[in-house]
Amino acid sequence: MNPKQICESILNEDRRSNLEKGILRSEVAVIDRLLARSIELTAVYDELHSKLNRHPFALNDFLGIVLSAAAFWNPEKMAEARIARQSLSEVNQKIARKAVECQQRLKTDTVLTPATI
């Protein structure tokens, strides 16, 4: 089998399995779009196969990751995640500033010893 046939065989097997189990319909839709563009993807399949064929499960795993990413990509949720990440980053910066303040206070405050108590 050539690289295109190997990749499409993996896609077809994933499609069959998903339909049989009644799961991941969004991945099935992505697979259908990829299979419909078979000729356009020949060069992509050739390159993927040339880079991943030496590793037993790498091609299958890579195609699975592509399917999941394409099927579940949601620009709105990604925008929300970016905002949440920015908020988390700001909180972390505040914590870091407070940690530095605490460190400076500890250095400048009088250390209590039994004699000073």
d(CA 110, CA 15): 70
Q: Are residues 14 and 54 in the same domain?
A: yes
Nearest-5° Cα angle at 69, 57 to 28: 80
60-100 pLDDT, tens digit per residue, is 999 999 999 988 888 888 788 889 999 999 999 999 999 99
Helix H or strand E segment including 113: none
Number of domains making up the chain: 2
Q: Are residues 17 and 41 in the same domain?
A: yes
Q: Whole domain around residue 46: which residue ranges?
A: 3-72
26-61 pLDDT, tens digit per residue, is 999 999 999 999 999 999 999 999 999 899 799 999
Q: Are residues 51 and 106 in the same domain?
A: no
d(CA 19, CA 21): 5
Cα-flanking dihedrals φ and ψ of residue 109, to 5°?
Answer: -70, 150
Give the list of residues 6+ apart from residue 116 with CB closer than 8 angstroms, or none: 110
